[in-house]
């Protein structure tokens, strides 16, 4: 029987995930939707899930006997309450990043899941499912010797006026924070943020670009450039330098043209198509695990580790230049 999924948060990504569950993936169906915006809930239902019931609140949706599993795609600050309610109801829950907006919030989720005694939560860190990152991980694990350094960049052509400096960490860098823990099988011990000259295309509340320096427990040094007004495209770069070679994240597939006396390869300008396949794979993984009453993939613990790191990075922004220690408690056995 198909897993009956309810989606809380019918905005951009909620609607897109609902579309892929109903139209692309197998083994599940969107049966319920809830959003503080009745208009957004109605639009999701009309456009991609005509059979779904609309619930007045996320809590009502989670409690419904017709809902087997929950997708939390509302604004970040609302994730914790819904994930905790899903755990209390014993229902598998896919939560978009961030798991919670504070490390304390993420820790409460870890504690609730550990007390429940079985994994129920998957966090939407989709890069772990990206074919390029998976190839890179194979090479890092087997071809280039011990990893020593990572050079990375996360660039967006532009961001809305509402995007402010700390969002460089919890909206943008959060993906690198997670994917490098996974890629290197390591944890962070410190963070530092330095600001180069600010782009004149930024605004008063956004220092852009910024450079984040992370150090891992095994001594790997990672530098990530976050540049969200870079103008030219959406560009994700990652190079791992090992003792015996280096490996680059593959560029997304694109046609190379010879035209107008130049050699051209287009670069994406929107983040949505960049990881479109990985969104499909992560959600199929969620459906498959939910069918057996559990969850796999990036866990609450990964969401917590990302939140602790993210808090340290924001502190490092506020005290630019200072090295902020990152301390994770012992990982509970549930996440071994
Ligand atoms: P959005 O603003 O387009 O949609 C959010 C929706 O949640 C809106 O319809 C809003 O009315 C609704 N909402 C807000 N508070 C709510 C509440 N308390 N209960 C129910 N609904 C509520 O935002 P978007 O871009 O879809 O982002 C949603 C989440 O997904 C964010 O946490 C964001 O960080 C994450 N995200 C993840 C991406 C990824 O690559 N993994 C990409 C884009 C977003
Ligand atoms: C957005 O919120 C995301 O989560 C995308 O995956 C990310 O790459 C983009 O830069 C963010 O703004």
Model confidence over 281-301: pLDDT tens digits?
999 999 999 999 999 999 999
Q: What is the pLDDT of residue 227?
A: 98
Supply the pLDDT for residue 1. Answer: 85
The Cα 158–Cα 252 span in angstroms is 20
**Which own/partner pairs from 316-321 qualify as long-range (CB within 8 Å, at least 24 positions apart)?**
316/191, 316/192, 316/193, 316/212, 317/165, 317/166, 317/168, 317/169, 317/193, 317/207, 317/210, 320/193, 320/194, 320/195, 321/192, 321/194
Residue 301 has what pLDDT? Answer: 98
What residues does 30 pair with on adjacent strands? Answer: 5
Q: For atom 8 of ligand 1, which residue has the closest CA?
A: 11
pLDDT in tens, 171-202: 999 999 999 999 999 999 999 999 999 999 99
Task: State which ligand 1 atom lies nearest to the alpha carbon of 37.
Answer: 11
Confidence of residue 318 (pLDDT cuts 50, 70, 90): very high
- Measure CA of the first residue to CA of the last residue in the chain; give whole Å: 31
Q: Output the CA 174–ligand 2 centroid distance in Å.
A: 9
For 107-125, write each residue's pLDDT tens digit: 999 999 999 999 999 999 9
Q: Is the CB of 271 under 6 A from ligand 2?
A: yes
Atom index in ligand 2 nearest the CA of residue 275 equals 6
Contact 332, 110 (CB under 8 A): yes
Q: What residue spans of the chain are helical by DSSP H?
A: 12-23, 38-48, 58-63, 79-88, 103-116, 131-142, 167, 174-184, 271-274, 276-290, 300-318
pTM: 0.97
Query: Which residue carries 């003792």 as its tokens?
Result: 243
| 21-79: pLDDT as tens digits | 999 999 999 999 999 999 999 999 999 999 999 999 999 999 999 999 999 999 999 99
Give pLDDT, residue 166: 96
Q: Is 193 in the pocket of ligand 1 (CB under 6 A)?
A: no
């Amino acid at each position: 029987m198909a897993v009956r999924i309810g989606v809380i948060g019918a905005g951009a990504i909620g609607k897109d995930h609902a579309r892929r569950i109903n139209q692309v993936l197998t083994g599940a169906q969107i049966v319920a939707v809830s959003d503080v915006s009745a208009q957004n809930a109605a639009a999701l239902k009309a456009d991609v899930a005509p059979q779904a019931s609309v619930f007045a609140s996320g809590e009502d949706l989670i409690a419904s006997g017709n809902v087997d599993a929950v997708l939390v795609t509302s604004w970040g600050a609302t994730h914790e309450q819904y994930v905790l309610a899903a755990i209390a109801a014993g229902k598998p829950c896919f939560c978009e990043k961030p798991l919670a907006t504070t490390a304390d919030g993420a820790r409460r989720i870890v504690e609730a899941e550990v007390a429940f005694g079985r994994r129920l939560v998957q966090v939407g860190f989709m890069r772990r499912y990206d074919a390029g990152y998976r190839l890179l991980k194979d090479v890092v694990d087997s071809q280039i010797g011990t990893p020593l350094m990572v050079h990375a960049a996360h660039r967006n052509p532009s961001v809305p006026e509402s995007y402010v400096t700390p969002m460089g960490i919890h909206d943008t860098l959060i993906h690198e924070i997670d994917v490098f823990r996974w890629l290197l099988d390591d944890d962070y011990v410190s963070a530092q943020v330095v600001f180069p000259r600010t782009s004149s295309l930024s605004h008063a509340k956004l220092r852009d670009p910024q450079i984040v320096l992370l150090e891992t427990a095994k001594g790997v040094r990672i530098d990530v450039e976050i540049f969200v007004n870079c103008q030219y495209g959406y560009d994700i770069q990652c190079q791992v330098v090992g003792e015996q070679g280096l490996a680059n994240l593959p560029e997304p597939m694109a046609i190379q043209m010879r035209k107008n006396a130049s050699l051209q390869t287009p670069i994406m300008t929107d983040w949505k198509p960049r990881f479109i396949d990985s969104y499909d794979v992560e959600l199929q993984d969620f459906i498959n695990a939910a069918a057996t009453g559990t969850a796999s993939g990036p866990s609450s613990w990964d969401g917590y580790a990302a939140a602790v790191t993210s808090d340290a990075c924001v502190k490092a922004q506020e005290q630019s230049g200072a090295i902020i220690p990152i301390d994770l408690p012992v990982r509970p056995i549930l996440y071994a």
